[in-house]
Amino acid sequence: MYTILEAFANGTLRIEADVSQRSPEHQKICDLAGELEQNLSKQLSDDENELLRQLLDALASESSHYAENRFIRGYQLGTLMTMEIFTN
């Protein structure tokens, strides 16, 4: 059995969310977003659709960076809490 540190060292530690285990509420929101995107796409010209695609890509990228920063900050805070426990 691997330890977490071994999994981290050899690259098998998965930290991304498992989208197959979305809550019903989360799945409903994802379905709605896809439906709205399709409906909007049907109403737009090719140039407008390209602009929409660029916007969605930029928003996804921004969201990814935000999630990465939140993870790093959470890990740092967790480590600081652990250090505090061991020093007290």
Each of the 88 residues of the chain gets a pLDDT tens digit; together they read 568 878 878 888 877 767 678 899 999 999 999 999 999 999 999 999 999 999 999 999 999 999 889 989 998 999 999 999 999 8
Tokens representing 74 are: 């959470």
